[in-house]
Structure 1
Amino acid sequence: MKLCAITKRAISSGLLVPVSVALFALFPLTDTDIWWHLACAREWYLTWSPVRLPAANVHEYFQQVVYAAYSLGGAPLLVAFKALLWGTVFALFLWPFRKAIRCNAVTAATLTVTLFVFRYCFEIRPVLFSLLILGVYWNLLPGLRRVPVAVAILILQWLWCRVQGLYILGPLFAAAVLLPQIVKSANARERLLKSAFLLSMFAMPLLHGDGLRLFLYPLGLLDRLLGITPSAAVFASSIAENRSPFSILAAGENVLGCVFTVVMCAVACAWSLRNILYRREWTLSASLLTTAVLALVAERNMALFLPVFAVAFLHEMSRAECCLQNVNLFYKWSGIAVLAFVFGLWARSLAAYDSFVAYQRVPVDAAKWMSAHPHAGRLFNDDRAGGYLAFVNPSDSVYVDGRFILKTADFFERYLRFAEDPGLFFSEADSWGVDRAVFPLRYYARWGRVLDALDSAPEWQVGHVDEYYIVFCKK
């Protein structure tokens, strides 16, 4: 009976949401970028292919934190760490509404199923730290009154500038919260202090050593995301996570997830615009509208949208009469049954994880073979494998990794053409002195033509092959 009472209280208060998110985040390190973050934390490295310099390491503080966690407990501790942080993010966003949230099992089940569908968003990436900091602002900025709190926020903003280029969301959120207060305030001193605070938030990047590059970094990031300039268009259209749900749907990929995304974002936009029109819940509505538009622009931004969507969904359902009363026993038990089913699926999925490193996506066995069999020339690799190879075998410089912000559009276009034109690949490999090449066989396996050409080329031979990766060596 006591367990049932605790469960009922967790459902009705919304506590189930951050707990569910933390549990759903317990899956292996599937995001391949984490490995070049770890490699850069150990020692800032560059690929042997051309790099745009000078470059600001905007992820430095994120990299140092995750590297410390990995050094202490390896991949298992890093997975547990990301689960804890994701649960904390949702708890922070829900906290200001904790007294207003009242939901039943049906509401809890609906939101839990939604979060389960998008559990792949709960990766260990810099956006997680950005959301964590934004969650702190979410709680502190609306009631900002004390100078020590303002100073603490400025320090946090300064740190955020070395976590991710999305640090710009901090000053923008502060502007959305404080500008209405500044306009309405009759106190000249209060208006001056809040205005100075807001300008200081925008100026925080300039207090770093390479401040100007950090200050301009969000503009370059936005350009690569939207393809505003011709040189950035190829990055917006060809990098998977930069594509919009509409373009992914048009390609026939991830149909269910993209349909969910479009529907949720459309509903969120309509709800936000209605509230803004009637001047209700300005901060929540403006935040939801912004993150919904960002999620429609690029798939990667769904991680920004989900915490705000969870708050808006529970907030709206708490206001609905059906959430508080007149919910018959059938619907209550239906919600509980759905919750049990979802958590049953989650528990079953845990049994399938035999490693916290997603060896299907990175060349675990291939890297071991390559480390035991050094070579004299240069290495060519697929971008998804670059970070892992740089981390586990730093003595062998890689051709490319996921940091395409350091590459030019010409380089990226040429790299993509290799997969379509094996002759171009052979020509470039000869001129560069490449004598080893590693390619994926399953995930991101766009290299079919090159693999067939290498297999039939008399001067190349297979050095290693496993279920997921193949390594070719020059004779």
Structure 2
Amino acid sequence: MSSSRRLIAYGSLVAAVAVLLSWFSPTDADTFWHLRTGRFIVESGFPRVDPFSFVLNSGSWVAFEWLSQVLFWSVFSIGGAPLLVAFKGVLCAAAFVLVFLTGRRQPALAAALAIAAAFGARGFFVERPFIFDLVFFGAGLFLLWDRDFSRPASRRDWIFPASIVLWSNLHGGAAFLGPALLGAALVASKSHWRSWGPLLCASVAAVVVHPSGWGVLQQFWGTLTFPAKDLLYEWRRPTSELFGIAGVFFAASVFSLPVLWKRRRHTAVWLGFSALGAMGMQRNIPFLLLAAVPALVDVLGPWLEKRKAWKDFVLLPGLAVAAGIGFWVHTEAVYPHRGLIGIPRMEVPFRGPLAFLDREKIRGRGFNEYEAGGALIYRASPERKVFADGRSLEYGPEFLRDVLQWFQPNRWQVLDERWNFDYAIVRRRSSGAYTARVLDVSPAWRLAYWDDEAMVYLKLNKSNESVLARHGYVLLQPGRSNHQYIQPIVATREGSNRLLLELGRTLAAAPGCANARQMEIFVLVRLNRIGPALESAAAAVAAYSDRAQAYFLKAWVHESAGQPREAEKAYREALARLHRRARATLGADILNNLGKLREVAGDREGAIVLYSRAIDWNPRQGNARRNLRRLRI
């Protein structure tokens, strides 16, 4: 195979793996407000003041990412989520193909390292301006890696500062990474400063060729010195990440530094600073992975050349098979929510809560959590302004600290007194902390709407009085992660009937609310109203025909009604629709219940098999363990 064909073959494999790893539906909260900002710029021009948050109150805003936001919105408006995800995939592929080409002296080794690095950076493959940083960083490595800086710069090298202008408009001060690469190389090498010095100065100046001008510098410095980095996950120091692929690359990079220093000092400096950056902040890990690919090729390549080389017709398919197996294992173990999908979809949350607020003509200031701001901006801004969103520098560290800990009673009191909220939109959590407790116990607030995604609380004031009279809840507290709190309520018939009225009102306002449907079925069975319970279960199956939970509810009603055949059939239908990720939870419960039905039918051996399988799926399934122990005695 000729050298050019080898590069094309291995480069295509690297690109394919990068696209595959990035092929998942947009879910990052910041993606939503970036898209809405892009739309705003297309429709209204470059923003000088903030249009989205009443906290910022139309204050000055440096839209340093404006060009990437316009690109994201333009792509999305043309082809929706599939084209947006494909665009992201092309950018990810470009970054890793560039570092593969930088190490092209050993194509097979460079491809293997680039693919492994792409796996390590998978968590950062999101539709945000940061993705452009990876492309430009990879391009900088490709252009400068083999350069002899003791020789004068050529005319072609002046493309570098021109590219910095583009980078700056895509992601503001992050473009300083380009001049930093060049400056570090010039300092570390015996450089021809007379020709390279002006080019470096032009590259630095290129960063402020931006509609915001010097505002880009202010934004960059503010980000570097932001005192509350510990509050934001991606800005924290890495911990468990260093036990995975990134950790292997970090260790290999550290051991490679002495060898690189002897051969090309500037590459050792780049790799060393990339390693330090990754240790200081999680979001810098991809830069280490990119820099490590050509560095490790330089270190390991000469050693491999002395060994008997494998033929490409063995290496290429073997690498492709390994990448496929790696994708499956990596997805199952690390990113089960990013498995292989067909056509990506963008599901923006909070449609129901916002529709309720609009329907009831509720205005004023609304509280929302930090993580929810992006979706609310996408859906409702600028008509309905948000309280907080994914931006940090604009709000400041103290505000950010209060918002991220809003569920503490003293913090909530301070926020409410300062901003005088009229309503609050709070996300529902399937597990974890009961954050909505501060609102449930407050005499000044009452729940008015809820669905599977979020809850809407209204302040008890004159403007909300009539709405709360029609929609206010007294018993339900859907912010809790379990339903144990309703046990005292359903202990009496009167309490059960009052709870059913509230659940009926929930399902009238949010017909697709699976949690309300589940609670309704539980209460109806508790009251021995099997007919209405079966009707509710049938409605759940009709609404969620692809979900195992709906069939589980139907089976449980049949089992409670003493209908074992119908129950077993529904349980097996639930099992057929069960997602792999739900095996340890819902799946183990289904198998345990099937085991009990088999036991009732006199099939002792079948029950043992089902109980054993339930324990295999979830070793902590206590009911299955007790049932199996009882049968084996």
Q: Shorter-chain TM-score: which interval?
A: 0.7 to 0.9
Residues 2-27 of structure 1: CA deviation (Å, up to 9, x unaligned): 9xx9xx95798454223211211111
Aligned amino acid, residue 469 of structure 1: A
Shift of 1:324: 5.2
In structure 1, the partner of 2:472 is none
Q: Among the aligned pairs, what percent are the same residue?
A: 22
Contact (CA 8 Å) 1:32, 1:385: kept in 2 or not? yes
Of 13, 20, 28, 1:16 maps to 13
In structure 2, the partner of 1:237 is 230
1:398 pairs with 2:386: yes
Shift of 1:241: 0.9
Aligned amino acid, residue 400 of structure 1: A
The 1:472/1:169 distance shift into structure 2, 3 A limit, reads: same
SS of structure 1 residue aligned to 2:422:
strand
In structure 2, the partner of 1:200 is 202
SS of structure 2 residue aligned to 1:473:
strand
Aligned amino acid, residue 448 of structure 1: Y
Residues 142-201 of structure 1: CA deviation (Å, up to 9, x unaligned): 3797765344332221222222221111111111334466x444xxxxx42321111111
In structure 2, the partner of 1:227 is none
Shift of 1:375: 1.4
Q: What is the RMSD computed on CA atoms of the aligned residues?
A: 3.7
Aligned residues: 437
SS of structure 1 residue aligned to 2:449:
strand
Shift of 1:69: 0.8
In structure 2, the partner of 1:156 is 163
Residues 352-394 of structure 1: CA deviation (Å, up to 9, x unaligned): 67853265xx545544555555412211111111111111211
Shift of 1:112: 3.9
The 1:194/1:128 distance shift into structure 2, 3 A limit, reads: same
Of 201, 207, 219, 1:217 maps to 219
Rounded Cα–Cα distance in structure 2 between residues aligned with 1:159 and 1:464: 46
Aligned amino acid, residue 213 of structure 2: G
The 1:403/1:148 distance shift into structure 2, 3 A limit, reads: same
> Which structure 1 residue ranges, 5 or more long, are not aligned?
186-190, 225-231, 247-254
The 1:271/1:52 distance shift into structure 2, 3 A limit, reads: farther
The 1:447/1:406 distance shift into structure 2, 3 A limit, reads: farther
**More moved, 381-390 vs 136-145:** 136-145
Rounded Cα–Cα distance in structure 1 between residues aligned with 2:14 and 2:139: 18
Contact (CA 8 Å) 1:102, 1:324: kept in 2 or not? no
The 1:118/1:270 distance shift into structure 2, 3 A limit, reads: same
Counterparts in 2 of 1:58-457, with a 5 A limit? Answer: 58-98=64-104, 100-103=105-108, 112=115, 115-141=118-144, 142=147, 148-164=155-171, 165-179=173-187, 183-185=190-192, 191-224=193-226, 232=227, 235-246=228-239, 255=240, 258-276=243-261, 278=262, 280-321=263-304, 325=308, 338-344=322-328, 350=339, 355-357=344-346, 362-363=349-350, 365-370=352-357, 372-394=359-381, 395-421=383-409, 423-426=410-413, 428-429=415-416, 432-442=419-429, 448-449=434-435, 451-457=436-442
Shift of 1:337: 5.4
SS of structure 2 residue aligned to 1:464:
strand
**More moved, 127-136 vs 402-411:** 127-136
Instruction: Give the greater-gyration-radius structure (CA).
Output: 2
Rounded Cα–Cα distance in structure 1 between residues aligned with 2:359 and 2:343: 24
Contact (CA 8 Å) 1:130, 1:160: kept in 2 or not? yes
The 1:274/1:222 distance shift into structure 2, 3 A limit, reads: farther
The 1:274/1:317 distance shift into structure 2, 3 A limit, reads: closer
Shift of 1:452: 1.5
Contact (CA 8 Å) 1:103, 1:324: kept in 2 or not? no
Aligned amino acid, residue 122 of structure 1: F
Rounded Cα–Cα distance in structure 2 between residues aligned with 1:396 and 1:268: 49
Shift of 1:399: 0.2
Relative contact order, CA 8 A, sep 6+: which one is greater? Answer: 1
Shift of 1:281: 3.3
Aligned amino acid, residue 288 of structure 2: F
